[in-house]
Structure 1
């Protein structure tokens, strides 16, 4: 028996006290385009299409301390597209044709707080799209095959602070477009448009462990443009021009990986996000969408764990990069104003933590009611939202503070209680559940049954096809992504197809069928 009791969720009306857009003080860009924002060493660095900020000639790059802007010598020849802090230096990558006024250096440069340093005159056509530190090296991706005198890079390089290296053959499959890097689950994940990593077939996402390539999570069916890691709940968020993830789940430009399953993200949007950011423990997305989660929201939105929210104003499209700095969310792009506020290319959003925390809730991700000995340990996954910390508690006193928690119950049959506490500021929420451990010796092993669910996504009516279940009693359950059971019935397959009429809100759910000790779970989406 599954028992999940969700704490009360208080959701404030949009634009409650303290929520507001503001112009960045002492800031006027001559060209309203910001492509890169990065907080490094308590300074905010930006780069874009601008030549000046106010009266300062900055040449496409500058730093901000919260009060005023600083000239970084002669700057860059054009916008940087990415940055990273590595070996006590700030690295900038992009398509720029000169560094500090000299065309002897292009595409990649470092700033040490006083001086620029480049890495030579690289090919004009290439662009570095993203940089990421991983296992003591700096990795970069983009549109290149040769760079820094190293050939056959194929979209990715490794840098140890002195030299550059290829990464086991790189990314292949014409045309190749490598866009994003993140570190997740101790792996370096690479996203973009490619079909091979080294000699391994992949589908637009691949994993590098420092030694070899592997495919990842079944891939996606088209380009990935953005990737982001929620380090508290241990989710991977992606967005791009894809319509299917994991080979089976239909989505609309957005998806979330919880370490085990792909999930829909609030119904997705009508266009992709180019950046994600976590601000006050809540997920924000910026991109080209004008509709997201079924609502008319343009350019930037906040995800409350179930649905997407507007930030309360009619918003000019063009947001493409976000960064948290001094407890505010800075948003850069190609817009000219936000609401009635003139803010060419750069603005900031304030949402006080005490207000944000009131939207926090605890949730345990989908897990089986019954686990058999020999299948342990089992990994429980958080379905919480808006929290800054977590604590799992089990019947024997064991605790764990990770988003994903592996536990083996000593491989002993019995009924066990699980508690998850989510914390945000002074707010806390608790969710409880139960799991039954059954001896494998008492269960006759059977092959899992095949399942075909259609249409998926669906609106009201759905068909479940399973030839092996004809004439059998089946428990059919549907859970939302926080583990709340929205439907459960004991039904009989009189033919090979069972039809259900369901009145469920739009969103993603887990369909669970149990028959004769065997269970199959499949993702379904209500549109």
Structure 2
């Protein structure tokens, strides 16, 4: 049988086997907001590829192949251009994409496309564009607007070797998936190392995002990792020590690998270590007190060797577990929640009716300073599952109760130090977890559907400024709930539990809400002015702020805001990001004709303002020792100033004979002038304040291409060039990241910006604010894209090598067959 016949037979068998499966795959292709424009499509075929964790889908359109698969950042929709398309524009090759009918284009920028779902209102960002050719050379690329429902990925492919790989990513407005692939058990607890940003989780899983990890795992910002051998049974709680960085785990487990670990253990960075002899029953809660001691709560009643009574709560004294004065409750009771304040109090919640022998209904306070128990009023009438304390000592409690202190409080309540308060009408289902974010925000997670009686948060709720607010789109799943919440130092909220989708993004049992939906708007006055109104303002996403006014000081005038708004009063509307807005002021030209100033000074008559010409006569300038009579003629050109010809006669009596004022302290523009005329009386001393002759024009620019590509670990250098500056120059660098957040770069106050060991999160727009004695200007903006070091090229060459070997093998077989036929 010839080689060609064998190949044909193999292809026929594969086709027959796969046809039905391919038809099923068609149903699995996600409904993407952007699809290939018809002019890109030649033929259509469907191919399945397996990446060892989850199938992704390749759709072959002839000259273009499309790959769709989930990542930790969102849904990826990559393209492979086999050869250069026939349509291009000034060396920019364009891959055109059509917006699906359910979406609308909100904004198209070179670095991102923002789309809105017309049904849900959800915003989707198409960003992180990365394009390279077959040799691994990264190509300059951007998004462009083509028409009402057509956008394009434009690529500068001059000298590029095809095929070209195009790699953008869909980003949900709020949520980031931390496990787009299968996680086979509930995540009961999540905590974050505030210093490193590492995320630790514990639960009932043995696989998380396709990575084998026995019931405990760590996310390092890029991938999930197992922690040693993990445990043989469920982890109920993980805690990262703020003092040592050690990670503690509690639950129902009894061993880690071959080592006995009775329901409590500590990870020292290398292995799980023993903490005494552990406990005889389950550990549900852990907390670190202000005194540095580790407290554990649960259903246990004794130490792991049954030699010591530990009544549902214990603390580690460095060598053994000890009990806080008789513990809490009796047989059948348990502790579910622990929280600590900063003055030595430990708040204990669960199912019990006593603490240290005193009456306490399901919640109590242990004062570690005096070693005494205290009730919180008359407590609550049901199990307490969660407690969190803010910096002011206000205690928020969640669980399965309906009254607190005898007042209605549906499953969530506040202890203000002396009495209980409800949080509106509460929530309609069980609360498992609470996280107090700041003085404005409390997040609530559980198994409820509504908060405040009407807001449907899908098991994640938000109590903000003493009222319930809607929060994004929550989670989804067949039997779903939120078990644990944690927050990192940047304000990102980590959500753990039992679900498969968060905010419309596939994420199995663990996800990240990128930022709390409250933004800070800060107003700053530059030299010469002040701000009237509230600053900073904390504004819920999509809401409006309150009015502020930029007020100039004496001798100054308002110029503009840093976003080029020229109105001194402003109110931010539809706020969707943190903002820092600077008001700029400039000194007033003292020689300009003015009308009606107090006390009869500077009385002027303004006549005519036709075709940009301003004519005026000024009298009554404060009289001094000398007179200057003549005609001052000049032209003032620039933003915010009179454009045209300024003619003024009879400037009399300025002090000491000085002529003060033609356009002193202009901020932008050219001042050209000449002073002509005869003088009578004392001679002008020839000194002029202000720039009356010649040209004044402060300009600044960054000496760099508009787009820079860097790899992680590189050093970023940007240099500002300046022309026309007067006196001392000041520099302040700024950055706008891919989330549209603007930051003032701390310490970057020179004309040279230097950032060493640059990271992916440093991607964004960079510019500099430059000022001298008279004005403030902004440079051009430079977009810096930081990517991981290119690995794909190595993979490409590896695959190319395999293909080459295969081809050579086929050719050798055919040569053998040819020789045999001879």
Counterpart selection for 2:388 from 228, 237, 247: 228
Q: CA RMSD in A?
A: 3.2
Instruction: Give 1:229-248 correspondences, 5 Å limit.
Output: 229-231=389-391, 233-246=392-405, 248=406
The answer to which structure has the higher helix fraction is: 2
Alpha-carbon distance, 1:85 to partner: 4.1
Provide the C-alpha distance between the structure 2 equivalents of 1:333 and 1:207, rounded to a whole number of angstroms: 28
> Does structure 1 conserve the Cα–Cα contact (< 8 Å) formed by 2:457 and 2:472?
no
Change (3 A) 1:23 1:196: same
Instruction: Give 1:451-490 correspondences, 5 Å limit.
Output: none
In the alignment, which residue of structure 2 is the partner of 1:395?
Answer: none
Instruction: Give 1:53-132 correspondences, 5 Å limit.
Output: 53-86=208-241, 88=244, 89-99=246-256, 101-102=257-258, 104-119=260-275, 126-132=281-287
Instruction: Give 1:157-172 correspondences, 5 Å limit.
Output: 157-172=314-329
The yes-or-no answer on 1:177 pairing with 2:352 is: no
Instruction: Give 1:209-220 correspondences, 5 Å limit.
Output: 209-210=367-368, 211-220=371-380
The yes-or-no answer on 1:139 pairing with 2:295 is: yes
Provide the C-alpha distance between the structure 1 equivalents of 2:314 and 2:176, rounded to a whole number of angstroms: 38
In the alignment, which residue of structure 2 is the partner of 1:277?
Answer: 435
Alpha-carbon distance, 1:17 to partner: 9.9
Provide the C-alpha distance between the structure 2 equivalents of 1:25 and 1:333, rounded to a whole number of angstroms: 13
Q: Which runs of 5+ in 2 are unaligned?
A: 1-119, 126-171, 523-536, 541-576, 581-822
In the alignment, which residue of structure 1 is the partner of 2:719?
Answer: none
Deviations 1:309-368 (A, max 9, x none): 332336424122111135421111111113532111111112367x53369xxxxxxxxx
The yes-or-no answer on 1:346 pairing with 2:547 is: no
Q: What is the DSSP-based 3-state SS (H/G/I as helix, E as strand, rest coil) of the residue aligned with 2:519?
A: helix
> Does structure 2 conserve the Cα–Cα contact (< 8 Å) formed by 1:104 and 1:121?
no
Change (3 A) 1:203 1:185: farther
> Does structure 2 conserve the Cα–Cα contact (< 8 Å) formed by 1:35 and 1:321?
yes
Counterpart selection for 2:451 from 282, 289, 292: 292
Which region of structure 1 is more displaced relative to structure 2, 76-85 or 300-309?
76-85
Deviations 1:468-517 (A, max 9, x none): xxxxxxxxxxxxxxxxxxxxxxxxxxxxxxxxxxxxxxxxxxxxxxxxxx
Change (3 A) 1:26 1:141: closer
Change (3 A) 1:385 1:236: farther
> Does structure 2 conserve the Cα–Cα contact (< 8 Å) formed by 1:277 and 1:283?
yes
Equivalences, count: 351
Instruction: Give 1:121-520 correspondences, 5 Å limit.
Output: 126-134=281-289, 135-149=291-305, 150-184=307-341, 186=343, 187-210=345-368, 211-231=371-391, 233-246=392-405, 248-279=406-437, 281-295=440-454, 296-313=456-473, 315-316=475-476, 317-325=480-488, 326-351=490-515, 355-357=518-520
Q: What is the DSSP-based 3-state SS (H/G/I as helix, E as strand, rest coil) of the residue aligned with 2:255?
A: coil
Deviations 1:280-327 (A, max 9, x none): 652111111112101133211111223323323364241221111354
TM-score (norm 2): 0.40
Change (3 A) 1:57 1:268: same
> Does structure 1 conserve the Cα–Cα contact (< 8 Å) formed by 2:209 and 2:508?
no
TM-score (norm 1): 0.60
The yes-or-no answer on 1:39 pairing with 2:202 is: no
Deviations 1:123-156 (A, max 9, x none): 66x1111111222321111001111445221101
Change (3 A) 1:308 1:114: same
Instruction: Give 1:15-26 correspondences, 5 Å limit.
Output: 20-25=173-178
> Does structure 2 conserve the Cα–Cα contact (< 8 Å) formed by 1:177 and 1:193?
yes
Q: What is the DSSP-based 3-state SS (H/G/I as helix, E as strand, rest coil) of the residue aligned with 1:357?
A: strand
In the alignment, which residue of structure 2 is the partner of 1:369?
Answer: none
Change (3 A) 1:320 1:262: same
Provide the C-alpha distance between the structure 1 equivalents of 2:399 and 2:302, rounded to a whole number of angstroms: 26
Which protein shows a greater Rg? Answer: 2
> Does structure 2 conserve the Cα–Cα contact (< 8 Å) formed by 1:49 and 1:79?
yes
Q: What is the DSSP-based 3-state SS (H/G/I as helix, E as strand, rest coil) of the residue aligned with 2:458?
A: coil
